Amino acid sequence: MSDSTPAPDALAPRRDFIRELVADDVATGRFGRAPATRFPPEPNGFLHMGHAKSICLNFGIAREFGGTCNLRFDDTNPFTEDVKYVEAIKRDVQWLGFQWDNEFYASDYFEKLYEIAELLVTKGKAYVDDQSEDDIRTNRGTVTSAGTPSPWRNRSVDENLDLLRRMKAGEFADGTRVLRAKIDMAHPNMIMRDPLLLRIRRGAHHYRRGTEWNIFPLYDFAHGLSDAVEGITRSLCTLEFKDNRDIYDWLVAEAGFTNPPTQIEFARLELDYTVLSKRKLLRLVNEGHVSGWDDPRMPTIAGLRRRGVRPEAIRTFAETIGVARKDARVEISIFEHAVRNDLNMEVPRVLAVLKPLKVVLTNYPDGQVEMLEAQDYPHDVPKTGTRQVPFSRELFIDADDFMENPPKKFFRLSPGNEVRLRFGYIIKCEDVVKDAAGNITELRCTYDPETKSGGANSDRKVKGTIQWVSAAQALTCEVRLYDRLFSAPNPDDVPEGQDFISTLNPESLVVIPNAKVEPSVAAHPVGSRFQFERVGYFYAEPEDSRPGRLVFNRIVGLRDSWAKEIKKG
């Protein structure tokens, strides 16, 4: 699979503040081991472009510095996780071009975490609190005032150990007790005010551990210690975890890890016209706004793959945006640009007509079919190739390339005017045929036999060149025009009482049931990508295409049509 080898530029060492730190780790031997990173998704949804950024960063650093990167499922919540998400995540990471050194599961560390819980209790660094989680939250105080210590804060080690063991054994109901770290109820960092470590979920069914466990670790308790168990050096996470760094450091130190990993935060990816949150994406799926996690409009890796985007484009995009210390929204046009650039260099051009309008060449011999030579790539692309395209008396052109009463600078076809057919001849519109309702049904044109492309007399120039297909030989196909899923740059920026759902773009999918494409595409396997000249980049959808009935997804247009919209006002 050639997709799995990143382009050389994706391997070139880039310098950002994280890579500077890692380079420094290597130079100073700070951790006494090779750089070790991990990508730690929770298997509660499909991966999205934000995860892709994190994947490129974690796996990229391991690769560049000769280190390792683990795939670790952060699966500590029995209510939301599922093996179907584990499978999807593995497939998506590999499709992006990365292979993990180890596949780990935080749920495999439950025993180890429990051992550490007992150790903390024994050291007087953790206690069982009988307050409800609500009361604990209330008693935590505010940024300006200290919290109120729990009445259970000074339980003896023996009592705490006994209660912890009974929590584990399933003696207590959910919500009746929690294990908390004993740190400082007046700590300036609120997270350090005796954070929760374990909570009761008696008899809960975990997708890997079954009903074996009655207590489950909270994120802070599981995350850093999982990193430490795996010998991670730098634990990369997004900025909203900045305040969690203190508890991370406290826990790995109290648990006795020497040379423990340290956390570095970077900016979350936020993309215009998109939401990047599994919770919100799950809503789109559950409420039926999209056909599933892999709907081609979804910003998920599975959706992008199904749309026809290549992994190279996603990696290039991740590289382009880099990593920063401050959150900032990224313009979707930067992503679309990466997709377009990638396809421009890779995919053959073909002729296709999305809105077929019949053209009859009245002076072309009836029944004659002539094969025209067509270039697969423009001259500024390193790839080359030619194919034969049938030409005959009856053609289709795109209805948008004809205007009965054109404005001044309309260089396509109009009554009495000429246009060049790509790889073919110059034609002239002589007559417009309409039905009783006044709709144009056919154009009667003449062609100039002296003007064959590449022929001796081909130097006669006209201003416009348009695509076309021969009516008898063209393949009829379904074309799915995908567009941005949201029509607002920031879908979350809505008036009170509304949410991101209200900014869905009603035209994010337009299906054209009877588009026409030149017959040469049949020689390519489904899953191939093309540029439809003058239209955009398209993907022969492997799941829904049938022999004789291809389905094409629009991956991206040839230019940013939204930029034009904005200029038009």
Residue 72 binding ligand ATP, by CB under 6 A? no
Written as six digits, the tokens of 406 are: 């054109």
CB 220 within 8 A of CB 243: no
Q: Minimum CB separation from Mg ion for residue 44, in Å? A: 8
Residue nearest to Mg ion (CB): 42
In the bound state with Mg ion, the residue whose beta carbon lies nearer, of 189 and 277, is 277
User: Does residue 278 carry a catalytic annotation?
Assistant: yes
- Nearer to ligand ATP by Cβ, of 147 and 224: the residue is 224
Alpha carbon separation from 326 to 19, 191, 238, 509, 558 (Å, rounded): 16, 21, 10, 34, 32
Cα(271)–Cα(298) distance, integer angstroms: 12
Answer for the pair 58, 69: CB distance below 8 angstroms, yes or no.
yes
Q: Which residues of 503-519 are buried (b: 16+ CB within 10 A; e: fewer)?
A: bbeeebbeeeeebbbbb
Question: Considering only residues 42, 162, 171, 376, which one is a binding residue for ligand ATP as defined by CB under 6 A?
Answer: 42
Q: Does 346 bind ligand ATP (CB under 6 A)?
A: no
Q: Should residue 237 be labelled a site residue for ligand ATP when binding is judged by CB under 6 A? A: yes
Q: Does 54 bind ligand ATP (CB under 6 A)?
A: yes
Distances (CA, A) of 363 to 360, 428, 456: 9, 11, 20
What is the residue whose two structure tokens read 């396809």?
Answer: 343
Euclidean distance between CA atoms 100 and 98, whole angstroms: 7
Which is closer to ligand ATP, CB of 164 or CB of 225?
A: 225
Q: H/E element holding 475?
A: strand 475-482
Task: Choose from Mg ion, ligand ATP, none: what does 94 bind? Cβ within 5-8 Å by kind.
Answer: none
Quick check: 303 binds ligand ATP (CB under 6 A)?
no
In the complex with ligand ATP, the residue whose CB is nearer, 278 or 529, is: 278
Catalytic choice (242, 268, 280, 358): 268
Is 42 among the residues known to form the active site? yes
53 binds ligand ATP (CB under 6 A): yes
Interface pattern 28-67 for Mg ion (x via CB under 5 A)? --------------x-------------------------
- Residue pair 474/545 in contact (Cβ under 8 Å)? The answer is no
Choose among ligand ATP, Mg ion, none what residue 238 binds, the Cβ cut-off being 5 to 8 Å by kind: ligand ATP
Site membership for ligand ATP, residue 41 (CB under 6 A): yes
Of Mg ion, ligand ATP, none, which one sits near residue 54, judging by CB under 5 to 8 A according to partner kind? ligand ATP
Q: Are 120 and 254 in contact (CB under 8 A)?
A: yes
Indicate whether 51 belongs to the interface with ligand ATP (CB under 6 A). yes
Residue 52 backbone zone (phi > 0: left; psi -120 to 50: alpha; other: beta)? alpha
DSSP classification of residue 154: T
Catalytic annotation, pick one of 201, 245, 278, 484: 278
Q: Using CB under 6 A, which of 180, 201, 278, 452 touches ligand ATP?
A: 278
Would you say 113 or 474 has its CB closer to ligand ATP?
113
Both ends of the chain: CA-CA distance in Å? 45
Q: Determine whether 361 is exposed, middle or buried from the number of CB atoms within 10 Å of its CB (0-12, 13-18, 19+).
A: buried
Angstrom CA distances, 449 to 365, 387, 454, stand at 11, 21, 12
Of 80, 94, 277, 458, which lies in the binding site for ligand ATP, with binding defined by CB under 6 A?
277
Judge whether 201 and 167 are in contact, CB under 8 Å.
Answer: no
Q: Tell me which of 94, 139, 189, 238 binds ligand ATP, using CB under 6 A.
A: 238
Point out which residues pair with 556 in neighbouring strands: 537
Which entry of 33, 42, 125, 534 is annotated as an active-site residue?
42
Taking the least distance from each CB to ligand ATP, the nearer of 40 and 261 is 40
Locus of tokens 């002296």: 450
Q: Choose from Mg ion, ligand ATP, none: what does 383 bind? Cβ within 5-8 Å by kind.
A: none
Tell me which residue has its CB nearest to ligand ATP: 50
Q: Where do contacts with Mg ion occur on this chain (CB under 5 A)?
A: 42
Q: Where do contacts with ligand ATP occur on this chain (CB under 6 A)?
A: 40-42, 50-51, 53-54, 74, 237-238, 268-269, 276-279
Q: Which active-site residues does the annotation give?
A: 42, 268, 278
